[in-house]
Amino acid sequence: MKIQLNKCKAFLLDIFFPNRCPFCDDFIRWDKLICNNCRESLIPANDKICRICGQEKCCCHDNKFNYDAVLASFFYNDKNVSKAVYSFKHQGIINIAEYTAYDASVHIKNENITVPDMIVPVPMGIRKQRSRGHNQAELLGQCIGKELDIPVRNDLLYKKDTKDEQHIHTAVERIKRVKGLFYCENEDLSGKSVLLCDDVMTTGATLNECAGLLKSMGAEKVIAVVCAAARLDNSQEKGA
Ligand SMILES: [Zn+2]
Ligand SMILES: [Zn+2]
């Protein structure tokens, strides 16, 4: 019933605010998430990255990660993807998040990944969230929550407010600086599988730090889901 109502709402909304492809801005049918052109031309990152480390060039041999799997729909370096992430981050336009939620649910099902018990979005500092008006990771979490019908918990992880902007640092500096930026509630997550989500993954430092806190709370498994993963060779400055 709820799904029918949501579809009805989407159809009616489309009359006044026609649905657009998040990547090329072309008009698309009210019940589509992406246009055919972009579906064929954008590289599906999920088919290219290592499922464990989330990097295109697997680095699992040299590193150990706190997360157990990474799902990423696209590559951030694609111009139309970075544009869609920008609109999502700064204007709260959630089309790319809706696509990522759908895409992640398909991969979870097809790859027999355990459906997580809860979704935990990467938190934003309170001051920053107030000035931006939303946390894009939370918006993505809500989209995935609807798709998989699991709860979103934004009361488990917190981020300290800091003047440091992640994107001004190099990859190595960023990995160091992310340490201690987050803290967690004293809740027992023993035996739970958690889906940790964020808009973009660059080095994976933020996801690794947050996954470490979830593991310290007892989480058995942490699956990271992002809209886009950066190809590290030529994009080191946009996320974490
Ligand atoms: Zn398109
Ligand atoms: Zn790997």
Q: Are strands 193-201 and 69-75 parallel, antiparallel or unpaired?
A: unpaired
Dihedral angle of Cα 111, 122, 68, 62, to the nearest 10 degrees: 130
Cα 106 to ligand 1 centre (Å): 20
pLDDT digits (tens, 9 = 90+) for 47-65: 999 999 999 989 999 889 9
pLDDT for 177 equals 75
Cα 49 to ligand 2 centre (Å): 8
Sign of the torsion formed by the C-alpha atoms of 72, 115, 142 and 5: positive
- Which residue would you say has higher pLDDT here, 97 or 30? 97
Cα 129 to ligand 2 centre (Å): 32
Least confident window among 1-5, 42-46, 133-137, 226-230? 1-5
pLDDT digits (tens, 9 = 90+) for 182-203: 999 889 999 999 999 999 999 8
**Greatest mean pLDDT among 11-15, 18-22, 110-114, 166-170:** 110-114
Cα 85 to ligand 1 centre (Å): 14
Cα 141 to ligand 1 centre (Å): 23
Residue 16 pLDDT > 70, yes or no?
A: no
Please return the burial class of 156, using the count of CB atoms within 10 Å of its CB with bins 0-12, 13-18 and 19+. buried
Q: Which ligand is nearest to the CA of 50?
A: 2
For the full predicted model, state whether its pTM sits above 0.75: yes
- Which residue would you say has higher pLDDT here, 173 or 192? 192
Cα 19 to ligand 1 centre (Å): 11
Residue 232: pLDDT band with limits 50, 70, 90: confident
Cα 25 to ligand 1 centre (Å): 6
Q: Which ligand is nearest to the CA of 58?
A: 2
Ion ligand 2 residues within 5 Å by Cβ: 50, 52-53, 58, 60
Through-space distance between the first and last CA atoms of the chain, rounded to whole angstroms: 39
Residue 76: pLDDT band with limits 50, 70, 90: very high
Tokens standing for residue 186 = 């004293």
Kindly give, in sequence order, each residue whose CB lies less than 8 Å from that of residue 131, ignoring residues fewer than 6 positions away.
Answer: none
Q: Which ligand is nearest to the CA of 51?
A: 2
* Rounded-to-integer distance, Cα 30 and Cα 19, Å: 5
Q: Which ligand is nearest to the CA of 84?
A: 1
- Which residue would you say has higher pLDDT here, 143 or 176? 143
Cα 43 to ligand 2 centre (Å): 19
pLDDT digits (tens, 9 = 90+) for 86-122: 999 998 989 999 999 999 999 999 999 999 999 999 9
Least confident window among 13-22, 164-173, 186-195, 198-207? 164-173
Q: Which long-range contacts (CB under 8 A, 24 or more apart) does 55-58 make?
A: 55/204, 55/229, 55/232, 56/229, 56/231, 56/232, 57/232
Residue 18: pLDDT band with limits 50, 70, 90: confident
- Which residue would you say has higher pLDDT here, 153 or 4? 153
The domains found in the chain, sorted by start residue, are 1-41 (no CATH), 43-229 (3.40.50)
**Average model confidence (pLDDT) for the chain?**
88
Residue 236: pLDDT band with limits 50, 70, 90: very low
Cα 42 to ligand 1 centre (Å): 9
Cα 73 to ligand 2 centre (Å): 17
Tokens standing for residue 178 = 């992310």
Tokens standing for residue 175 = 């990995």
